[in-house]
Structures are given as C-alpha cells and as structure tokens.
Amino acid sequence: MEWDRSESKQQSACPLSGNMIRKLADLAIRQTAFAYAPYSGFTVGAALLACDGQIFTGCNVENAAYGPSNCAERTAVFKAVSEGVRNFRAIVIAGGKDGQITGECPPCGVCRQVMMEFCDPENFWIITVGPAHTGHIYTLGQLLPKGFGPANLEG
C-alpha cells in the first residue's frame, strides 16, 4: 500500500507510520462489508484513530428517506464521542460501488463539518484509500479551508 504524501508539505508531515496507515486502511476496508447501502450500492468504511491510540470504526447506513442516512466517518466519530473520546489524530476512509474499492472516497461536506467540531484542521489527517490500496493524505484544513468550528464562537 502506498499513500501519496507529495502533493504538499503538510502531507509529507503526517506523523503516522506506514504500518499504522496500513492497519487503519485494512480496518476501513473491512468495515465496507458492514455497510447498509441497499439504495446506492455504495459502501463506505472508516477507521478513526484517537489521540490516545484507540481506534473506532464505522460504516455508512442508508435509509429509505435518505435524510436520516449516516456516513461511515460520522458513525466512527459518533461512536467515539459516545464513549467519551473527543481528541482525534486521523481517519482512513475506503469506499466504492457494490463492495469494491472503486476510487478514493473523500469525506462529504457534512462529515468534514463534524470533524471540524472535534479536530484541529492542521493536525488531523484524512487518508483516502483507492484501488490497489493506494491513496492520498490530507489535513482537514486542506479539505475544509476556512472551516467554521468551535473557535469561531469564542468571545
């Protein structure tokens, strides 16, 4: 598995080892098997690394009414928060059509906003898994520039 760290200085600064990224990627890929996606057929898995080393996983869960559906990334974050964990280092996301990793799967805007609530945009790493288990590494700030977060509401 190879992850492109060359697109910016921030990518090359990702502190996670290749072994940790592979571990998280394997977990994210495995989570796609648990996805409930009868409408789109697009399954997504995520593995979220907390600052204390705990890993929380998630998959997408669709709903016939569409609006109540939940993405894999938010499932992982909400699982962690419900366990009292609120500090995160990285998330790895894998997804594709009909259970196959068909392309990189960056987080949607809603998931990016949820991450902004709990994560430092310059030090939280979002890693996408593509075909052949390759991918890219981004910071939250790269994928959500000028994001609105808790600091915006401070005095």
Does residue 73 have an active-site annotation? yes
Cβ atoms of 119 and 88 closer than 8 Å:
yes
Tokens in use for 134? 């390759």
Of all residues in the chain, what percent are helix, strand and coil, respectively (each to 5)?
A: 35, 25, 40
Q: Which of the following is catalytic: 73, 104, 117, 122?
A: 73
Provide the annotated active-site residues: 73
